[in-house]
Amino acid sequence: MSVQCEATAKRAAGAPMSVFERYLTVWVFLCIVIGIALGQALPAPVQAIGGMTVAQVNIPVGLLIWVMIIPMLVKVDFGALHQVREHWKGIGVTLFVNWLVKPFSMTLLAWLFVRGLFAPLLPADQIDSYIAGLILLAAAPCTAMVFVWSRLSNGDPLFTLSQVAVNDSIMVFAFAPLVALLLGISSIAVPWDTLFTSVVLYIVIPVILAQLWRRALLGDGGPAGQAAFDAAMERIGPWSISALLATLVLLFAFQGRAIIDQPLVIALLAVPILIQVFFNAGLAYWLNRSVGEKHNIACPSALIGASNFFELAVAAAISLFGFESGAALATVVGVLIEVPVMLLVVRVVNASKGWYELGRRAPS
């Protein structure tokens, strides 16, 4: 791992939890309440914001997602990808769960519950849209919030940065084909042009901008460059948090009426999401234990396997199907339950450290 990346990661690991991190569930709940209230009290302005689109891309949501994820991506040192061999087993588990298990297991669960068991209880004309939203939710691993989950579980900061860098690199090339494959298998029309636009806007451009910014801050990599980088990270840190909260308010304002009018739909869509969160977290956690990885590697590996890049999922759902679609609602349900559920997963992996170390396979 490069010196700059290591220094940044260790500073992040040693920093005290922010107020945002300490009361994460409270802020999300407030965003839900405020967003729904705004959607009901000011329907016309909310509809106007929802209509601010170019080429089916909602501009306010897109800008907020950029402000949210670019500061996180600035931390990622893609030049240090060759260092993943230091924890190649943990990286291998992460990639296996994120790309070969999670998207396909979510698709299977969507078919089983949305198209099967729950179909009589759901609007027939939205079944395919709900399935599409669940596929979008599972097709991209977490990029931003995984840093928070890792810190809360005392995860290795260097490993966390490495796995995010690897996943982001893969996501640039794999997200669109994977989503198209799973939508096609599910007999859902694939608007390739809009899907490609979403990848460019929400993955490729933010990655490029973040890395250019990173290089400009670090300069020649000397002490002055590192000091400038650290100062910039401290200054722009609140941007991501503020944008996340604003995005949540906006999304729940868009979907407030649907959430109030269709509580049963929300509960039913939450079932496959909850199952896949616990299944993938448990699978990654157990696999890391089986191959002999340390607990502080298994935690971020399990957490990135369970959480989703919901910012991308929501943006892509809005672009592909519209902000009032079943797909957008399904991704918002993912946002609704992800934070409290992921905090529960953090508690489980922290509490089970003794069990994990007791039965961990000795590294070869």
Give whole-number Cα distances, 222 to 4, 140, 161, in Å: 9, 35, 21
pLDDT band at 107; cut points 50, 70, 90: very high
42 vs 323, more confident:
42
- Position 140 in a domain: yes
CB 327 within 8 A of CB 320: yes
Between residues 132 and 310, the one the model is more confident about? 132
Q: What is the mean pLDDT of residues 244-256?
A: 78
| Residue showing tokens 């991506």 | 73
Q: Using a pLDDT cut of 90, give the percent of the chain over it.
A: 18
- Which CATH number does the domain housing residue 217 bear? 1.20.1530.20
pLDDT at 35: 87
Digit-coded pLDDT (tens) for 69-84: 788 778 777 766 666 6
DSSP assignment string, 84-120? GGGGHHHHHHHHIIIIIIHHHHHHHHHIIIIIIITGG
* pLDDT given at position 17: 53
Domain annotation covers residue 79: yes
Which range marks the domain in which residue 231 is found?
Answer: 3-353
- Report, as an integer, the average pLDDT of 244-266: 78
363 located within any domain: no
Alpha carbons 185 and 335: distance in angstroms, whole number: 25
- Residue 124 domain-assigned (yes or no): yes
- Tell me which of 172 and 361 has the higher pLDDT: 172
Higher pLDDT, 346 or 312: 346
pLDDT over threshold 60, residue 1:
no
Structure tokens at 227: 């000091």
Three-state SS for 363?
coil
Beta bridge partners of 54: 57
Q: Are 214 and 72 in contact, with CB atoms under 8 Å apart? A: no
The answer to whether 2 touches 80, Cβ cutoff 8 Å, is yes
Is 362 within the bounds of a domain? no
pLDDT digits (tens, 9 = 90+) for 159-181: 887 888 788 888 888 888 888 88
Single-letter amino acid, residue 290: S
Q: Please state the pTM of the whole predicted model.
A: 0.79
Q: Is residue 90 part of a domain?
A: yes
* Per-residue pLDDT reduced to its tens digit, 315-334: 788 777 877 788 888 887 88
Average pLDDT of the chain, as a whole number: 80
- Does 364 map to a domain? no
pLDDT score at 14 = 43
Whether the predicted pLDDT of 268 surpasses 50: yes
Burial class for 107, CB neighbours closer than 10 Å (0-12, 13-18, 19+):
buried
Q: Is the pLDDT of residue 26 over 90?
A: no
Give the whole-angstrom CA distance, residue 48 versus residue 101: 39
Place 109 in a pLDDT band, splitting at 50, 70 and 90. Answer: very high
Counting the structural domains of the chain, the total is: 1
From the centroid of its chain, how far is CA 73?
13
The C-alpha angle 107, 169, 320, rounded to 5 degrees, equals: 45
User: Is there a contact between 119 and 132 (Cβ–Cβ < 8 Å)?
Assistant: no
pLDDT-based confidence at 25, cuts 50/70/90?
Answer: low
